[in-house]
A and B are shown apart, each in its own frame.
Chain A
Amino acid sequence: AQRVTQPEKLLSVFKGAPVELKCNYSYSGSPELFWYVQYSRQRLQLLLRHISRESIKGFTADLNKGETSFHLKKPFAQEEDSAMYYCALRVNRDDKIIFGKGTRLHILP
């Protein structure tokens, strides 16, 4: 069965420090991987997807098929990055999205 694991429930990082949110997945094929973000009192929104290979708000994520990981990184944390982050996968392009339990990122001043 497909599964997404985010080992950290809470990650506290000082402003200006690097951020890495961990994500591992289990699926034997080639899924599509995503990071979603939910800011306080806002709806869930797509942050980035691995097929785009882009940087959004300074965040990047590289798919490592050997380690089945899709960690989210940012070199210098900003206070506005404080939010709930969900790693997710989709097996085929029309299918449901399978979410991890989420990591709350708290940027300390």
Chain B
Amino acid sequence: GAGVSQTPSNKVTEKGKYVELRCDPISGHTALYWYRQSLGQGPEFLIYFQGTGAADDSGLPNDRFFAVRPEGSVSTLKIQRTERGDSAVYLCASRYSGTGGEQYFGPGTRLTVT
């Protein structure tokens, strides 16, 4: 079946602009995670949704970052007033509702802020 998909695959934007990154989880997966991977680092947690609600947003670096999942499926990560330090690969993962299940990762969106 189809895996987690993310769009766009690459995004180049100018400093100060607003961007939206989209994640389509595996059908039926109620848990959805966003991670950010900077160059030379492992993925770092940003936010976790269970259904429509954010169960844990402790990884969001500041209030320029926001994420939504209005219908409990597709999620959008929104970044306002982008900064060069936001440049990274943004990864999305989804997991079936059963606890302890494997997180399946998408291919990521590479964001470059110039």
Any B CB within 8 A of the CB of A96: yes
| A101 pairs with B45, CB closer than 8 A | no
The 0/1 profile, CB within 8 Å of A marked 1, for residues 45-76 of chain B is 10010100001100100000000000000000
Q: A-side binding surface: helix, strand, loop or mixed?
A: loop
**Are the C-beta atoms of B59 and A96 separated by less than 8 Å?**
yes
B6-39 contacts to A (CB < 8 Å): 31, 33, 35
Residue of B nearest to A41 (CB): B107
CA distance A77 to B42 in the complex (A): 23
Residue in A94, A96, A100 whose beta carbon sits within 8 Å of that of B45 in the complex: A96
Q: Which of B56, B100, B108 is packed against the most chain A CB atoms within 10 Å?
A: B100
Q: Which of A19-48 touch B at CB < 8 Å?
A: 32, 43-46
For residue A96, which residue of chain B has the nearest CB?
B45
Question: Do A93 and B91 touch (CB < 8 A)?
Answer: no
Take A44-B91, A93-B99, A93-B100 as given contacts and tell me if A98 and B106 are in contact as well, using a CB distance cutoff of 8 Å. Answer: no
Contact-residue size bin, chain A (C-beta under 8 Å from the other chain)? 20 to 34
Q: With an 8 A cutoff between CB atoms, is A99 at the interface?
A: yes
A-B pairs with beta carbons under 8 Å apart, 25 shown: A4-B42, A9-B40, A32-B100, A43-B3, A43-B105, A43-B106, A43-B107, A43-B108, A44-B105, A45-B105, A46-B103, A86-B42, A86-B43, A93-B99, A94-B55, A94-B99, A95-B48, A96-B45, A96-B56, A97-B33, A99-B43, A99-B44, A100-B42, A101-B40, A102-B42
Task: List the interface of chain B (C-beta within 8 A of A).
Answer: 3, 31, 33, 35, 40-45, 48, 50, 55-56, 59, 91, 99-100, 102-103, 105-108
Extra 4 A-B pairs, beta carbons < 8 Å, given A86-B42, A93-B100, A99-B35? A46-B102, A93-B99, A96-B48, A97-B103
